[in-house]
Amino acid sequence: MCFEFEKFLTLRKISDYMAKDKLQITRENGEIVEAQAPVIVSASRSTDIPAFYADWFLHRLKLGYSAWTNPFNGVRSYVAYDNTRLIVFWSKDPGPLLNEGGCLDYLAMKGINCYIQYTLNDYVSEKLERGVRSSLQQRIDIFKRLVDRLGFGKIIWRFDPMILTDTIGIEELLAKAQNIGDQLKGYTEKMVFSYADIRTYRKVQANLTKNCINFREFEEEDMHAIAKGLSELNRSWGYALATCGERIKLEEYGIIMNKCVDDDLMIKYFSDDQKLMDHLGVEIIRGTLFDPEEKIIKNKNNKDKGQREFCGCIASKDIGEYNTCPHLCEYCYANTSKESAVRNYNQHKLNPFAETIIGR
């Protein structure tokens, strides 16, 4: 087994193809195909790779590529990791990343940067996130361990989404946020939140209705009330507060619009990675004895034009797939149904190191 693995790595030939972000790769079956070769990888907005697919991702990183199925047309494409300099992880329960010999160890060995968008909600008593395996306190502890491992500023707290139901009002949401925010002081510099936009996503509305969740939409006055409450809590926290993908502007409360895949964060923490800075079009002029101030010049706009209108993210390649997340959150936009997510996760377990997450 080990011999075959090493043989595959030795025989895998990759060459520049057509453009610097395209490569020709040799699949495990010997077929030569074209692959995208992203510098920045998102893992993933579509499913929780750290919680459920960390071993799969580690295996695919070692092999150098994975496959991805377009959710709109069903076409399979390939992603090569040869040029990857940074990975943005998204997770509700990323403990498996800390496993000895796991993803973080491998990325450190290969010199690949990463940071984590860590969703820490508290919907335990309401059972809105039934499939989240770790308790709230365990997840807070995991947050702190990840900060100790990766460094301050590289784990971002998300309370995402905020949702209103017949049992969760504005006061309840603020109390939940306070409980978590108080415990994260000294471990994060930012809180990102969003308001559940239910009617925009038919899948979300259908799933909530099907599962008898009595939700209500946020009105603008509700949004301002939450923003004001968070701003008051932030007098103790001292976090940067930011919204994710929201149309409403809340600058009066000191709340900015976020970039989750964030070139400013990358410049702040990974400016020593010249290949990443070149990709971002960033020129850094280091200070001198006579002019010690460092100057940062951005020479291009990296905004991802394929995202929602009010999304601030820069361009990246997301490698996840919809209908694969077993967290089974009642408000999930990425699963058409719980049944499809469970079915695909079970399919993955039959072939856990296949080219695609689903195992096909």
**Gap between the Cα atoms of 227 and 83, Å rounded:** 40
- Identify the CA nearest to 280 among candidates 314, 319, 331: 314
Domain around 189: 2-261+316-350
Residue 266 confidence (pLDDT): 98
Residue 20 confidence (pLDDT): 53
Residue 70 confidence (pLDDT): 85
The model's pLDDT over 273-297, given as tens digits with 9 standing for 90+, comes to: 999 999 999 998 888 878 888 888 9
Residue recorded with tokens 């075959």: 4
Whether residue 291 lies inside any domain: the answer is: no
Whether residue 279 lies inside any domain: the answer is: no
Residue 154 has pLDDT above 90, yes or no: yes
**Between residues 194 and 13, which one has the greater pLDDT?**
194
Residue 17 has pLDDT above 70, yes or no: no
**Gap between the Cα atoms of 339 and 344, Å rounded:** 9
Whether residue 272 lies inside any domain: the answer is: no
Amino acid at 36: Q
Whether residue 243 lies inside any domain: the answer is: yes
Can you tell me the mean pLDDT for 295-309?
89
Whether residue 306 lies inside any domain: the answer is: no
**Position 18 confidence tier, pLDDT thresholds 50, 70, 90:** very low
**Gap between the Cα atoms of 35 and 116, Å rounded:** 25
Tokens linked to 21 = 């972000």
Amino acid at 69: T
Whether residue 284 lies inside any domain: the answer is: no
| Whole-prediction pTM | 0.91
Number of domains, the chain = 1
Residue 88 has pLDDT above 80, yes or no: yes
Whether residue 26 lies inside any domain: the answer is: yes
Whether residue 295 lies inside any domain: the answer is: no
Residue 5 confidence (pLDDT): 35
Residue 4 has pLDDT above 50, yes or no: no
